[in-house]
Amino acid sequence: MPDLGNLSEQRQPLECRVALVSNDRDLSSNWVNALNATAAQHENPFGLRFESVTTAALEKHLREQDRLQALIIDGGCSTEELSNAEELADRMHDLRAQLNVFLVAQNSFLSTQGGAPASVRKRFDELFDRREGNFNHMFRLVQAFIARRASTPFADTLKEYVFSARDAWHTPGHSGGDSLRNSPWVGDFYRFMGEHVFNTDLSVSVQVLDSLLEPHSVIQEAQDLAAQAFGAQHSFFLTNGTSTANKVVIQQILGGGGKIIVDQACHKSVHHAVIMNRCEPIYLKSTLHPEFGIYGPVRRADIEQALDEHPDAGLLVITSCTYDGLRYDLKPIIDCAHERGVKVLIDEAWYAHGYFHTELRPTALECGADYVTQSTHKMLSAFSQASMIHVQDPDFDEYRFRENLNMYASTSPQYLMIASLDVARKQMVMEGYGCLRHCLQMVETLRREVDATGVFRALTLDDLIPAPLAGDNIRLDPTKVTIDVTASGYSGKEIQVKLFDQFGIQVEKTTYNTVSVLVTLGSTESKLLRLVHAFKQLARQPRRRSHAVTARQLPEFTRLTCLPADAYFAETEELPLMDNGVLAEKKLVGRTCADEIVPYPPGIPVLVPGQEISAQIVQFLQQLLQGQTATEIHGLIFRSDEPMLRVVCEPKKSSGDNVKKGVKKDG
């Protein structure tokens, strides 16, 4: 039986560079020659090649050599040389955290009974004695470490299982696609999707594939590898997105209630968790860039003030980076929260790639976050909905976490998604640095070419930072490129349509005067060429007279009259938002909203459940509904096309005749 199960088999021959880092020329050339000779005599599926690099040349080598997979650092023969090697290992970890690092040293500690000091064990994967020169053993050990990183325990087992072709007498009902394959009605769907979509769609009945809800074998191994890869103490896979990941973490810390300090512009899953867990939210106001209609991070001073005023909060939740790529300087914020005993969840839905390139670090975990949620599917190679939660909370209660996670998880997880998480992690540890280096080069070309059109302009960090954030050391994730289209005279939406209709290009999102594209691992030179060509062509087309747009500032937050949960589940009535303007305002002002009302764009709530409605808010929503540009307003209820707001019944009115099942309709 051929080995059909090993996903490590590759189309292109692999090449793994291993650098022996030493300033001792004799040792270096002898060892490199001996190790390469050993590699030539042994099975070498990863294509290990040893090379010598001096300490002075190492940093440049790490920045430029994408295929580097391991370092063997010469720790010399003295305590001083050893501490230099430790320092070097730390610096190199800051550049490329994924590499395996080995130490060669001639020192008494390597052979003492107590073993190597903790400082050495912490930094190096394995130790070799400088005098020994057992090159067979060294080669095998380096190869074994690389093989472990390159393994995909879950994806391999899934593939093996499929090729073992067992008969299925279990869910799902399509039974490996057999229900569709020969059907004259739906066989086309089977052929379109491809056999492996169906025969990898299995169930918990298949025990060799472990259980996502109680993992002990291949899923647990894959999660352990993910924790190592992303720099976490524990990592957990989710097959229903970061929307669920956020809810799990909030329930873990605040299940049953408690104060949460939260960016009002956070993802709606966080708002939902606030309701579901009966939390008391302390809202942080995010900054608006008036020219581009882009919401940015919260001012650091505002976060610190909220932490000072509410040290009894259980959790701080902020998003870094934002959809537009704005990243906080997280360390001082997280430190400030921890000094007050507040746990920190960073929503890194848009930043799963951050740990794999120097220019994108530090990540939230590196800055000390207790919990980090990431949509592995947004920027990396996982399937949609495949996400991870990374944990490094010193007070982590794994048993409770498992219960909380299982409460939100489906008991029928999609195995394709789990496999894609395993493979996405492997890709990042094995070639993530090189892939991201390529992405960053493409970003530079894109920005240069867009600017060269003279009409479109790729916005810089300075352009994107709202004035109140100056001094907060905000950074930009370069892979999110926001392009100002003002000078074309067209709106972002119109340019989006032109790009799609005329050039077959779909962008990520728009605001009134910007379009944004994501440069991901899947961006290719050809796609870049076509995008640049499209912008050049559009720049040559007749322009309209451009007019400056100022994004509408959201109305001021009023106050919560009760917990969001109390409002959401209260007895409510529906009041019209538009009945001749003044009347609606009169009825609504001072009432408590029961739903989250979110105009899109920008997707930030104007009202949250429990919030008092003001005249300014009513007018704002009325203007949006009457405005020229179509705006979706999530949370409004339409009754015969009439927009209604659900508000909490006032105590005296709750016994009226027309109150039905907790919902009363006006008029």
Ligand X SMILES: Cc1ncc(COP(=O)(O)O)c(C=O)c1O
Per CB under 6 A, residues contacting ligand X are 241-243, 267, 269, 319, 323, 347, 349, 375, 387
Q: Output phi, psi for 597, to 5 deg.
A: -110, 115
Q: Output phi, psi for 128, to 5 deg.
A: -125, 145
For ligand X, the closer of residues 319 and 486 by Cβ is: 319
Residue nearest to ligand X (CB): 241
Min. distance of Cβ 66 from ligand X in angstroms?
A: 28
Residue owning tokens 């009760």: 562
For ligand X, the closer of residues 347 and 484 by Cβ is: 347
For ligand X, the closer of residues 161 and 350 by Cβ is: 350
Q: Output phi, psi for 112, to 5 deg.
A: -70, 160
Q: How far separated are the first and last CA of the chain, in Å rounded?
A: 75
Min. distance of Cβ 193 from ligand X in angstroms?
A: 22
What are the structure tokens assigned to 159, written together?
A: 């593939």
DSSP bridge partners of 576? 644
For ligand X, the closer of residues 269 and 496 by Cβ is: 269
SS3 245: helix
For ligand X, the closer of residues 240 and 486 by Cβ is: 240
For ligand X, the closer of residues 106 and 319 by Cβ is: 319
For ligand X, the closer of residues 248 and 499 by Cβ is: 248
Min. distance of Cβ 79 from ligand X in angstroms?
A: 48
DSSP bridge partners of 560? 611
With beta carbons less than 8 A apart as the criterion, state whether 431 and 15 touch.
no
* CA 393/CA 446 separation, integer angstroms: 40
Min. distance of Cβ 243 from ligand X in angstroms?
A: 3
Q: Which DSSP category does 131 fall into?
A: T
* CA 512/CA 72 separation, integer angstroms: 53
Min. distance of Cβ 612 from ligand X in angstroms?
A: 27
For ligand X, the closer of residues 130 and 475 by Cβ is: 475
* CA 565/CA 257 separation, integer angstroms: 10
Min. distance of Cβ 375 from ligand X in angstroms?
A: 4
Strands 659-660 and 663-665 come out as antiparallel
With beta carbons less than 8 A apart as the criterion, state whether 520 and 549 touch.
no
For ligand X, the closer of residues 416 and 644 by Cβ is: 416
For ligand X, the closer of residues 269 and 592 by Cβ is: 269
With beta carbons less than 8 A apart as the criterion, state whether 298 and 285 touch.
yes
For ligand X, the closer of residues 347 and 585 by Cβ is: 347
Strands 387-391 and 514-518 come out as unpaired
- Cβ partners under 8 Å of residue 632, min gap 6: 599, 600
Min. distance of Cβ 322 from ligand X in angstroms?
A: 7
Largest CA distance in the chain: 95
Residue 193 host element (H or E): helix 187-193
What are the structure tokens assigned to 588, written together?
A: 């609504």
Min. distance of Cβ 348 from ligand X in angstroms?
A: 8
Residue 647 host element (H or E): strand 642-648
Helices 241-254, 268-276: axis angle to 10 degrees equals 40
* CA 587/CA 589 separation, integer angstroms: 6
Min. distance of Cβ 244 from ligand X in angstroms?
A: 7
For ligand X, the closer of residues 317 and 567 by Cβ is: 317
Min. distance of Cβ 319 from ligand X in angstroms?
A: 5
For ligand X, the closer of residues 492 and 602 by Cβ is: 602
Strands 371-374 and 387-391 come out as antiparallel
What are the structure tokens assigned to 245, written together?
A: 């990941």
DSSP codes of every residue in 388-439: EEEE--TT--HHHHHHHHHHHS-SS--HHHHHHHHHHHHHHHHHHHHHHHHH
Min. distance of Cβ 323 from ligand X in angstroms?
A: 5
Min. distance of Cβ 298 from ligand X in angstroms?
A: 14
Peptide bond into 643 cis (omega under 30): no
Min. distance of Cβ 295 from ligand X in angstroms?
A: 11
Min. distance of Cβ 476 from ligand X in angstroms?
A: 16
Peptide bond into 649 cis (omega under 30): no
For ligand X, the closer of residues 521 and 584 by Cβ is: 521
**Amino acid identity at 281:** P
* CA 376/CA 353 separation, integer angstroms: 8
